[in-house]
Amino acid sequence: MIKVNIKKEENIITYIRIKGHARYEEYGKDIVCAGVSSALQTTVNAILSFDKNAIEYVESNNFYLKNIKKDNITNKLLDNLVNTLTEIESNYKKNIQIKEE
């Protein structure tokens, strides 16, 4: 299962942590993992296109993103990511779980 942890302070996302594998299908054929990865990569690229110093992130077996600037554009893009992940979760409850800390 993919586990997504989100931390907010005063309606601003301060960090997002994503770990695990959806196990919907085997590696390389998993549409849930592909959807999460695509949404994540699109969001990171969009934020960095506005401001390369707005976020810090580490991408390995787990993914960790820290919102440095906490500006309006970055937060809206991160909110959009969370909305996308929530939509995926609503269709694949056995494969992804989102928790707000």
pLDDT of 27 higher than 90: no
33-62 pLDDT tens trace:
999 999 999 999 999 999 999 999 998 889
Enter the tokens of residue 66: 């820290």
Q: Pick one of 3.20.10.10, 3.40.50.410, 3.30.70.1490, 3.30.70.3280 as the CATH number of 2-100.
A: 3.30.70.1490
Distances (CA, A) of 39 to 10, 35, 64: 24, 6, 14
Active-site residue set = 21, 33
* Sequence spans of domains, the chain: 2-100
Predicted TM-score of the model (pTM): 0.94
Give the model's pLDDT for residue 60: 86
Task: Work out whether strand 96-100 and strand 2-9 pair parallel, antiparallel, or are unpaired.
Answer: parallel
71-89 pLDDT tens trace:
999 999 999 999 999 999 9
Using the 8-state DSSP alphabet, how is residue 62 labeled? S
Enter the tokens of residue 52: 């390369």
Q: For residues 18 and 1, is the Cβ–Cβ distance under 8 A?
A: no
